[in-house]
Structure 1
Amino acid sequence: MKRHDLSDAEWERLVPLLPSVLPRRGGRWADHRTVINGIFFRTRTSTPWRDLPGCYGNWKTVYGRHRRWSLDGTWERILDGLRAGCDEAEGPDWTVSVDSTINRAHQHAAGARRAPAREMTPRGDLSNDKKAGREALGKSRGGWTTKIHLVADRRCRPIARLTSPGQHGDSPRFIPLLEAVRIPRRGRGRPRRKPATVLADKAYSSSGNRAYLRGRGIRAVIPVKEDQKQHRRNRGSTGGRPPTFDAERYKDRNTVERCFNKLKAFRAVATRYDKRERIYQGTIDVASIRIWLRNPIT
């Protein structure tokens, strides 16, 4: 077994979540374990697909499996299975943290053709939104970049993700990001879509975001910007009461930063090499799967 391959214990947890090796059309797929090990190797090392070691089989087979499962949502369904019931340990007081990070896009990530309108859209994909930008690529002082918006739990595990061009702000993605939270039940019941508490930094301090959380009964632990404080003071009694802020609880917000550190240990996530936004989202999901396999629900 190579250093980045699945262990026997990880494979046993992953097997029940994988699709059948006999697809509806065509012949039998190549061995799942070999191909997935190749995908993990590429995600961890960011080696070009054509340069994959021969022990993982034909590189076209490995890339084709990753592309297919990124487009049809298979990686997301596997993640849903690994995350099922992850909130039960905290009970009603399930707490998550929200933040974003900017990743540099390699020159090979540019030049993708415009996607056909008939392609499937996975959960949390904003590629059809004109304001989102093409393929979640944006140009700033540092060059072409992509921003990852993330929700993480207290154990530094990714709960939901979105992507956008690197120059876009954090606050406009706050509500769509929380709408993407979906934790399936281990037994019967609807997925849990609402945490009890959300931790976020000042970038998410807006009246719209706070109203959204208040309307859903979610506790907001978000510091107020200085200009917002001054604006409220200038309005006097009409400014209303300032929002409550639990400074002690806010100390736990570092969990999302530590989750980003885990994700960026995968070099194909830290630097974007994928042309298509949905393929890059699949790469993020593959790294998230590895994090959940190494830190499973107990």
Structure 2
Amino acid sequence: MTDAQWERLEPLLPVSNRRCGRWRDHRQVVNGVLYRIRTGVQWRDLPERYGPWKTMHERHRRWSANGTWELLLQRVQAEADAAGDIAWDVSVDSTSVRAHQHAAGARLAPPPRPKGGLWQGGRDRSAPGGTDRPSGGGGAGGEVLGRSRGGFTTKLHLSADGRCRPLSMLVTPGQRADCTHFEPVMERIRVPRLAAGRPRTTPDSVCADKGYSNCRTRAYLRKRGIRHVIPEKADQAAGRRRRGSAGGRPPGFDKERYKKRNTVERAINQLKNFRTMATRYDKRAYVHLGTVTAAALMI
């Protein structure tokens, strides 16, 4: 990280406490974790300048389990929102991530409760989202590994703001449909306020491709009062016309707004510039989600 990046991140990092003792220098360890996320190198092959590889692996695993990476991302998003730096015209999409052979073979066990690594406020979060379950769920052994034509894959569902930066993320097995996870992705949009007030959870508008075109998705967005641009599938339009007046009016569609849907595609491109985003190497689902969150934090 550059000095400017470290100045923003250092005040947000967890502090050591008596129970877990003094931690190794945060900057050295975080740089080692980010080097591994960027290059995809095995933990044992990390350069010696970052310190013992076990220290970096253990801290990344703990911060993935107790939600530290997630909280860091939320704090950075809160600063950006307070500065008016978030464009709330959101786009939603997903991408498949091929699983490396190193991602297989995890034992059938829940994520361990870390002994240290608590957030500064002392809140214990054993998994992202504050639950005791592996994030994502499903798949082989609950580690979100699903079979598809390309073999074992994991699917990353995400929403991105108008400046091509991820707002919320969710991992599922690779064969899961996009539309079935639209609502969970939207529910994960949660940008805290630096001052008093509830976190912002409602974007100005939402844009998605035809994979999200169904009555449930449109009803969900209407219920929350969110303007949306989702093209209608050809078979849905034909069925509506066959029913005549009973089929109702066609959904509104703004061509100019839909041209901006590429922001989420560009956000996926930025994520996949990190080698561990193009190929999954982590065995555990919650560690993989922590890796994705750390990459989004750097973006």
TM-score w.r.t. structure 1 length? 0.91
**Structure 2, unaligned stretches of length 5 or more?**
114-125
Q: What is the alpha-carbon distance in structure 1 between the residues aligned to residue 99 and residue 8 of structure 2?
A: 33
Q: What is the alpha-carbon distance in structure 1 between the residues aligned to residue 249 and residue 130 of structure 2?
A: 34
Q: Is the 8 A contact 2:136 2:285 kept in 1?
A: no
- The Cα of 1:117 is off from its aligned counterpart by 8.0
- The Cα of 1:220 is off from its aligned counterpart by 1.1
Q: Which amino acid aligns with 1:60?
A: K
The count of residues paired between Structure 1 and Structure 2 equals 284
Q: What is the alpha-carbon distance in structure 2 between the residues aligned to residue 205 and residue 237 of structure 1?
A: 20
Q: What is the alpha-carbon distance in structure 1 between the residues aligned to residue 28 and residue 264 of structure 2?
A: 31
Match of 1:137 among 136, 145, 158: 145
**Correspondence for 2:52:** 58
Q: Which moved more, 1:134-143 or 1:274-283?
A: 134-143
Match of 1:16 among 1, 8, 11: 11
Match of 1:32 among 19, 26, 33: 26
Q: Which amino acid aligns with 1:72?
A: N
1:64 and 1:137, CA in 2 relative to 1: closer, same or farther beyond 3 A?
Answer: same
TM-score w.r.t. structure 2 length? 0.90
Q: Is the 8 A contact 1:137 1:145 kept in 2?
A: yes
Q: What is the alpha-carbon distance in structure 2 between the residues aligned to residue 85 and residue 261 of structure 1?
A: 24
Q: What is the alpha-carbon distance in structure 2 between the residues aligned to residue 231 and residue 55 of structure 1?
A: 63
Q: Which amino acid aligns with 1:25?
A: R
Q: What is the alpha-carbon distance in structure 2 between the residues aligned to residue 63 and residue 221 of structure 1?
A: 42
- The Cα of 1:16 is off from its aligned counterpart by 1.2
Q: Is the 8 A contact 1:85 1:183 kept in 2?
A: no
Q: Is the 8 A contact 2:154 2:172 kept in 1?
A: yes
- The Cα of 1:40 is off from its aligned counterpart by 0.6
Match of 1:47 among 36, 41, 44: 41
- The Cα of 1:127 is off from its aligned counterpart by 4.3
Over the matched positions of the two proteins, sequence identity in percent amounts to: 57
Q: Is the 8 A contact 2:138 2:172 kept in 1?
A: no
Q: Is the 8 A contact 2:111 2:134 kept in 1?
A: no
How large is the Cα RMSD of the aligned pairs? Answer: 1.9
Q: What is the alpha-carbon distance in structure 2 between the residues aligned to residue 160 and residue 210 of structure 1?
A: 20
Whether 1:224 and 2:219 are equivalent positions in the alignment is no
| Cα deviation code 1:163-218 (max 9, x no counterpart) | 01111100000001100100111211110011120010000011001000000000
**Structure 1, unaligned stretches of length 5 or more?**
1-5, 292-298
Q: Is the 8 A contact 2:40 2:276 kept in 1?
A: yes
1:233 and 1:98, CA in 2 relative to 1: closer, same or farther beyond 3 A?
Answer: same
Q: Secondary structure at the match of 1:100?
A: strand
